[in-house]
Chains A and B, each alone.
Chain A
Amino acid sequence: MCSDPNKVIDVTKAVQDVILRIYRWDSSGTWGEDGRLVDYKVPVPSGMTILDALIWIKANLDHTLSWRAACRMGVCGSCGMFIHGKPLLACQTQVLKLHADVIEIRPLPNYPIVKDLVTDQSRMIDAHTRIKPYIIRTETPPEAIAGEFHQTEEELVRYLQFSYCLKCGLCMSACPTVASLQEFPGPQPLGQALRYVYDTRDEGFAERLQEIDNKFGIFRCHFAGACSEACPKGIDPAFAIQLLKKEIVKRAIMGCRTPESAGLMPAQQDNAVKAPNVPATPAFTVDQKK
């Protein structure tokens, strides 16, 4: 569907009515012990997102409906929901693009429900904390590091893709192992473990290995790949986890030497000139041709 870019679209005029079938539950039992699906009829104009529709319902139909959201533009990762059979960000999903007259919206699976579409994501945050999501150096005290570490662009690209994680938790909802094994860290924490293992400044491989090389750890991932399908930022957690396994084979099983971590940049000179190969502005992160 390629539309004329010059065509003016009236985003205030509803194109069609869509029924949002939303899961409701609260701890006081208003919607019964197991909760209930409730239908809300929403007049949908072109471009309306699921989040817009939820806001419209709260303003016009039922002000008791709860969900979580903040930035409205796919940056904060708060509005993850199970929309029309897939974990998605409500703010990045347009109602009409789902091509359905009835859209079922449930809270993200594999997290406890707090109320309606609001889930408690502490399971992911706890596991994320356990894999030590920061650069670990052996210098003591850390203040002994005087200067900046040197890193080439190739070394940056190796982990850059994995560093855009929003902690929205959609991958955890998609993962079949997270669904049944409480002790499994999950795709988000494991993916972030690789982000730091692949960072040339980091020296924490052995420390993180202790956290993930156990019977409920990284090897309970079987590359179903659902996490990568669900990720709204192209982090590709399934890829990160397989690369981490490769790194474990190389360093912990084959006994390959751990590559040397990055050294410090030489102290800057007053008369320093900009290196000719440093690009002036960062490249676009959206394909300009599409």
Chain B
Amino acid sequence: MKESRLWFWHLISGLALILLLGVHTVIQHFDSILTWLGFIPQAAWQSGGHLVGSLNFQHAVLPRMQSVSMTAVYLLLVVFGLFHGLYGLRSMIYELKFSAKAKQVVGVIILSIGIAAAVYGVYTVLAGHLNPPLGG
């Protein structure tokens, strides 16, 4: 693909990630605020184990896995996040001082990592739907 298009999608994915990662970060990390607002059930804090709040498997992790909207957010996060991050990494490596030939090899390696991680990521996200009795 032409460099201008890759760069264009780098910027677009960056904008999308601000939204998606904003949602993701708030859900995963602003536990006390979300509980106070009622988005995380009190039960997630009272299960006895040390994994409470948004990390609680039964009351927080499972419902997220099986929610269609969260699945959509995760899918977009995987694709945009990997593209944006790996294109940025490739930029930095390309700006280092070594031969253009070796850079071509690095480009292929990064592309392979990207494809492998994307397949793994998409499978991970969809597994919650492929296998409903999971964790039960």
* Residue ranges of A at the interface with B (Cβ–Cβ < 8 Å): 177, 180-184, 213-217, 219-220, 222, 248-249, 252-253
A252 to B5, CA, bound (A): 9
Q: Size class of B's contact patch?
A: 10 to 19
- A249 pairs with B91, CB closer than 8 A: no
CB-CB < 8 A to B3: which residues of A? 213-215, 217, 219
Contact partner, B96, options A180, A219, A253, Cβ 8 Å? A180
Give 10 closest A-B pairs by Cβ, nearest first.
A219-B7, A181-B95, A213-B4, A215-B3, A180-B97, A180-B95, A253-B8, A248-B4, A219-B3, A214-B3
What DSSP secondary structure best describes chain B's contact surface? Answer: helix
Q: List 7 A-B contacts (CB under 8 A).
A: A181-B94, A182-B97, A213-B4, A214-B3, A215-B3, A217-B3, A252-B2
Q: Smallest Cβ distance from B115 to chain A, in angstroms?
A: 19
Contact surface of B with A, Cβ cutoff 8 Å: 2-8, 91, 94-97, 100, 103, 107
Distance in angstroms between the alpha carbons of A215 and B3 in the assembled complex: 6
List residues of chain A with CB within 8 A of the CB of B91: 219-220, 222
- Interfacial chain A residues near B6, Cβ < 8 Å: 219
Q: How far, in angstroms, from A142 to B11 measured CA to CA in the complex?
A: 40
Q: Given known contacts A220-B91, A253-B8, is B2 in contact with A213 (CB within 8 Å)?
A: yes
Structural contact, A249 and B8, CB atoms closer than 8 A: yes
A182–B100 Cα distance when bound, in Å, is 10
- Please measure, in the bound complex, the distance between the C-alpha atom of A249 and the C-alpha atom of B28, giving whole angstroms: 36
Minimum CB distance partner of B8 in chain A: A253
A219 proximity list for chain B (CB < 8 A): 3-4, 6-7, 91
